[in-house]
A and B are shown apart, each in its own frame.
Chain A
Amino acid sequence: MSGSAENAQRRLPRLAPGESADVGLLLEGTYPYVSGGVSSWVHEIITGLPDLSFGVIFLGASPESYGEIRYQLPRNLVHLETHYLMSEPGTSRPIGGGGADADADDADADTFAVADDDGGEGKVRPRRRALSSALAEMIRLHDAFKAPEGGLDPRHLDAASALGGPGGISLREFLSEDEIWARLCNEYDARCPTTSFLDYFWTVRTMHRPLFTLAELARRAPGFRLVHAVSTGYAGFLGALLQRQRGCPFIVTEHGIYTKERKIDLARAAWIRDEETPGDGSLGQELGYLRRLWIRFFEGLGRAAYASARPVVSLYEGNRARQIEDGAAREHTRVIPNGIDITRFAALRAARPAIPPPVLGLVGRVVPIKDIKTFVRAMRTVVAEIPDAQGWIVGPDDEDPRYADECRALARSLGLERAVRFLGFRPAEEVLPQLGLGVLTSISEALPLFVLESFAAGVPVVATDVGSCRALVEGGDAVDRARGVAGAIAPFAAPEALARAAVELLRDPARWRRAAAAAVARVEALYTRDQMFTEYRALYRAAFEEAASHGRDRLRAS
C-alpha cells in the first residue's frame, strides 16, 4: 500500500483493536469513493439504519482509479479501511528486463538457498511437506472452481482462507517455490500449450495475488457481528472467507449480476492479450483460453459467495433466477427491491393534469445501453399520430459524446428538430410533473430508479422488456397484478411498437388515469425506502439471532 493511501486512511474512522461493529460492509469499487447507484444505496442503508454500527472494507484495483471520498460519512459508520488489490508486488509485469531492474542484490537473496537445496535436506524437508499438503488442498479448490456447474462446498475455501497464514501457502512460496512453478507448467502444458507463456504466467500471477491480500484482510478484519457483501467478485469472496474463518453470518446483495458484467468486460478487455481466434467473432466458445480462465475465475468467486451467503439477495425475480442458475441455492435466495423516498414525489401528484400532456420523457444518460436512438425513431411515429407531441431526453450527454452526436443527427434526419429535445441533466422533481409518459428504451436494466420515481409522481411508463420492467409495469405476483397495469411493455429496439403503445395510452385519458393510479399503488405498496429499510433490518436481526443461537449451541456442546 502506498504511503499516500496510508496518510489518507489516518483521517478515516477506524475501530480500535478489540472494538467491533454490527455490520461489516464489503464493497468493491463503490462507496464511498465513487458516486452512483450502488454507492447511494449503501449510503442510504447506513443512514437509514442509524441504530446499527457499520464498518466498511473497500476493495479497489489501484489508488489511481479512485479520488476523494464522495459522501459525508454517517456517524454510525465507525470503521472504513481501503485496500487496493492490483497494486501489490507480484500483480504487474516488471517493465523492461535484463539490466533494467538495477534495484539490488536483495532481489535474489534466496538464490543461494535454491542452489543449496540439495545440501540442507534436514531443514528443507518439513517445510516442503507442508507446502505439498497445502498445495493438494488448493488443487481441490481449483477442481471445485473448474467443475462446470452447481454449488461449491464451502469447506474447499479453507485452502484459500489459509493463504499466507499458518498451514497455508505463503506468498513467498507462491512467488518462488519449485512446486508452484511445476504446477503452473503442468497446467499450461495440459490446457493451453499454444498460448503465450508470458501472458499465461502473468495472468495466473495477477489472478492469484489478490487472494493472498483477501485472506490476510479476512484474518485482520475487525470484529463484525455479520458481514454483508454488496456484490460477488472479490468482495463476495472476502465475505465467504470471513464466514468460513469466523462462522459469522454472511449476506450478499447484488444490484446487477457481477459475474455477468465481468464476462462482458472480459470479452472486450484489451489488456488480455489473447491469441486471435478466427471465426465469426461471436461471444462464447470462440474466446481465447486466458479470457475463459478469467471468466471461470470470476464465476468461481461468485459461486464461493453464493455457497456461503445466507441469504443471497437480488433486486428482482429475473436476477434471482440468474443467481440460481449461477450456483445459488434457491432456498437461500430472496428478492428485496430498491425503494425510493415516496414523500419527495407524492407532492408532485397534485400538479398532474386530467388530460395526458403529449410529452414523452426519457430520463437517463445519453449512452448506447439506454438505446436513445430507438426513442428518437419512436418519436417519428408518435409525431405522425399526435403532431404536437414532444420527446424529451433528460440526462447528461458528456459520457459518450459521439453517441450523443449520432442521436442528434438522427433526430435531424427524421425531421424531429422541434419534437425531440435534449435537455441535459435536470432534477426529477422539475421534469416529472410535465410528462405524459415516462419512456425507457434501455437494452439492459435491473430495477430502474427512473421508473420508480415516475410511478411515485403518478406518471405511467412505457418500457422495454428488460430487467424488472415487466414486473414493475404489469405487476409481479397475483396480488400485485391486481393493482393494475401502470403503462405498457414493448419489445427491444422496436420503435413502432413502442410508439403505438405510447399513442394508445395518450389517446385514452381514462386508461391513462388508471395506469397512473396503478403506478402509485404499486410503488407505495412495494418499492418504498422504508420498506427496504424494514426488510434489511429484519434480515440483519435474523442473522444476529442466528449467530447468537449458534454461539449458545457451541457453548452447550463444549
Chain B
Amino acid sequence: MAGIGFELRELLRRDSLWGLVRAYAYAGIISSGPWVLSILGVMGIGLLSVGPVPALEVRQFLVSVTYLMAGSLILTGALQLTFTRFIADRLFEKAEGSVLPNLIGALTLTVAAAGALGTLTFLLLWSRASALGSLGPGPWAGGGTVVFRLLLVVTLAALSACWITVVLLSGLKEYRRVMGSFLGGYLVSFGAALALRPFGLSGLLGGFLLGQLLLLFLMLALVVARYPSDRLLSFDFLDRRRAYLSLSATGLLYNFGIWADKLIFWFTPSTSEPVLGPLRASIIYDLPIFLAYLSIVPGMAVFLVRVETDFAEAYDRFFEAVRGGETLAEIRRRRDRLTLAVRRGVGEIFKIQGITVLVLLLAGPRLLDYVGISRLHLQLFSIDLVGVAMQVLMLAVFNVLFYLDERRAVLGLAAAFVAINVVLTIASQQAGPAFYGYGFSLSTTVTSIAGLLITSRKLDRLEMNTFMRAGSTA
C-alpha cells in the first residue's frame, strides 16, 4: 500500500499547476467526500420526495436523520479516538491479527449501546411527549408507527457502527476505500429511498437505512480482506492498561461540542418548533450552519495535503533523529523543520479557507437566493462561515497535538470548546437574533487560537518533552 502521503507527494512533485490542482482536488475529495456526500444525499432524498411525499413528512425525515447523525456521532465519540489509538498501537506492535476481532468487539458494543439508548428514548421521551400532547402537527404526530420507531433504532445502530468503521479506516489511511464505500452506500440510500417513497416517512428512512447497511458492509469487507484474523471477537480495547480514558473523554466532548449549539437551539422553545414526537428543529438556525459546512472543503483539502506530506515527513524525520542517536543540533534542526511544516500548514489553511470565506461572504446574498433561502439568514450564514473555517483550524491543531501525543492538552481544549460553545450560545440567545451563531463561532475561534498557542509552546519544548517524558515513565 503506497499510502495517501505518497500519492499526494507524487502529484505535488510534478511541480506543475495541474499537479497541484489535482493533489488538492484529490485531497478535497477524500477528506470531505464522505460527509459532503452524506449531506447532499440526504438533502437530495428530501428534495426529490417533496410532492410524492407530503412536505411535512419530508421535513420529519430530514430532522430524524439529523438527530440520528448527531446522536450516533456523540454516542460513538467516546470510542472513536481511543479505539483508533488502540488499533494504531497494535499495528505498531505488528499485531495485525487483533484489528478485526477488536473491530467486531467495538461494533458489538456500539450496536448494543445504540440499541439500548434508542429503545430507552422511545420508552421514556417519546411516550411522555405523546402523553403530554406536545406533538408535532400532521398525520404522524403520534411519533410514527411501530415500524418507523424500529427503523429509527436500527438506523441509529447502523450509523454508529459506520462511524466506528470509518474512523478505523481513516486511521489506517484508507481514504479512497472509505470514499468509494460512501459513494456506493449513498447511491443505494438515494435510490432505495426514492423507490420506497410510496411508503412515506417509513419508506424514506427504510431506503436510507439500506444504503447505510451497504456502506457498513463494504467497509467491513475491506477490513476482513486486509486484516484477516483467527479470532472472531475481542474486547481488548477496553483493557484499562491499553485504553486511553483521556482520548475517550476528548472524543465525547469534541463531538458533543460540535452539536451543543444546535441542541440548545433545538430545545429552546423560542427558537424551535416540534417536528416529530420529542424531536424539535430550529429552521432559523439549522439551514445556515449546514450550508456553511459545505464551505470547508478547500480548508480540509489543504489540511490533509499538509499533514500527510510535509508534516508527516518532518515528524518522521524528527523522531528518526531522536531514536537514531543524532546530535542535539541535528535534532533541533529537524524540530525547526517540523515547526516550519506546522506553520506552513496553518498558514495555508488560513489563506485558502480565508479566501473561500471572503468569496462566500461576497456571494452570500446571491447564494442564498439561488438555494432558495431567505436573506434573513444572511447574517447567521456569514458568522457560521467564520465559525466552520475556525473549526477546520481547530481540527488541524488537534491533529498536530495528537501527533505530538499531547493528549491532555487536546482534552483541555475540547472541554474548553464545549464550555464556551454552551455558555456563549445561551448568551447569544439572550442577546437576540443578531447574535445567533456567535456562540459557536467564538468557541471554535477561541479554541483554535488557544490550541495554536499551546502547539507553539509544545513545539518549542518538543525535544525536551520527548526525552524527559520518555525517561520518567520508563
Chain A residues packing against B (C-beta within 8 Å)? 89-94, 96-105, 107-109, 111-112, 114-115, 172, 175-176, 178, 181, 185, 188-189, 193-202, 205, 273
Contacts and interface: CB of A to CB of B under 8 A. Distances in A.
Contacts of A109: 408
A541 B457 CA distance: 62
Contact of B246 (A99, A105, A188, A195): A105
B473 A107 contact: yes
A29 to B, nearest CB: 23
A193 to B, nearest CB: 6
Contacts of B467: 181, 198, 201
A197 B326 contact: yes
B412 interface: yes
B147 interface: no
B430 interface: no
Contacts of A93: 474
Given A176-B472, A193-B329, A112 B407 contact: no
A112 B413 CA distance: 11
Contacts of B454: 115
16 contacts: A89-B473, A94-B473, A101-B473, A104-B241, A105-B245, A107-B469, A108-B405, A111-B408, A112-B412, A114-B465, A175-B472, A176-B468, A193-B328, A193-B329, A196-B326, A197-B331
Contacts of B14: none
B471 A201 contact: yes
Interface stretch (B4-12, B86-94, B219-227): B86-94
A198 B322 contact: yes
B327 A94 contact: no
B470 interface: yes
B325 interface: yes
Contacts of A175: 468, 471-472
Interface string B233-244: 000000001101
Given A90-B471, A99-B88, 11 more contacts: A98-B319, A101-B473, A102-B86, A105-B245, A108-B469, A111-B406, A176-B469, A178-B464, A185-B328, A197-B327, A201-B471
A101 to B, nearest CB: 6
Contact of A98 (B92, B327, B408, B458): B92
B408 A105 contact: yes
A90 B474 contact: yes
A147 B218 CA distance: 71
Contact of A97 (B319, B325, B407, B461): B319
Contact of B242 (A98, A102, A176, A185): A102
B85 interface: yes
Interface in B74-116: 85-86, 88-89, 92-93
B472 A89 contact: yes
Interface residues of B, number: 41
A277 B366 CA distance: 74
Contacts of A90: 471-472, 474
Nearest to A109: B408
A549 to B, nearest CB: 46
Contacts of A197: 322, 325-328, 331
Contacts of B406: 108, 111
A199 B323 CA distance: 10
B409 interface: yes
Interface of B: 85-86, 88-89, 92-93, 241-242, 244-246, 319, 322-329, 331, 405-409, 412, 454, 457-458, 461, 464-465, 467-474
A112 B408 contact: yes
B327 A92 contact: no
Contacts of B324: 198
Given A97-B319, A105-B407, A194 B89 contact: no
Contacts of B468: 175-176, 181
B327 A105 contact: no
Contact of A100 (B93, B244, B325): B93
A198 B325 contact: yes
A17 B187 CA distance: 79
Contacts of A189: 328-329
Contact of A103 (B241, B322, B329, B407): B241
A115 B457 contact: yes
Contacts of B474: 89-94
Q: Which 3 A-B pairs have the closest CB atoms?
A: A196-B325, A175-B472, A99-B89
Contacts of B245: 105
A97 B470 contact: yes
A199 B325 contact: yes
Contacts of A188: 328
Contacts of A99: 85, 88-89, 92
B407 A205 contact: no
Given A90-B471, A175-B471, A176-B469, A108 B408 contact: yes
A543 B454 CA distance: 60
Name the residue among A97, A100, A199, A200 with the largest chain B CB count within 10 angstroms: A97
A91 B474 CA distance: 8
A97 B323 contact: yes
B407 A108 contact: yes
A98 B405 CA distance: 8
Contact of B461 (A112, A114, A193): A114
